[in-house]
Amino acid sequence: MAALMANADMDFTSLKELLSVTDGNLASHLKALEKENYINVTKQFIGRKPNTKYEATQSGRKAFQEHIDALEKLISGAGN
């Protein structure tokens, strides 16, 4: 999600290279995010090659920010 928060959208190959993960690992995480409506998936062809792009939804952005806020509270000790 962090990569999608910092970029308007990213394709599968770019995410895979950035995160240094396998196809299967990335695909399973992306499916989970899509199921929660945290990302939008757009499939197209560029020439004859399939290309899948991902972008964070508004609810995905909100959930990610809430996660970051909770981590910051935990780190600062405000959660005690």
CATH fold for domain 2-76: Arc Repressor Mutant, subunit A (1.10.10)
Mean pLDDT of 47-75: 96
Would the pLDDT of 9 be above 60? yes
Does residue 68 contact residue 60 with C-beta atoms inside 8 Å?
no
- Distance of alpha carbon 17 from alpha carbon 6, whole angstroms: 16
- Distance of alpha carbon 39 from alpha carbon 72, whole angstroms: 23
**Each residue of 27-44: pLDDT tens digit?**
999 999 999 999 999 999
Nearest to 19 by CA among 7, 67, 38, 69: 7
Q: Can you give the pTM of this predicted structure?
A: 0.86
Give me 46's structure tokens.
């560029």
Does residue 49 contact residue 76 with C-beta atoms inside 8 Å?
no
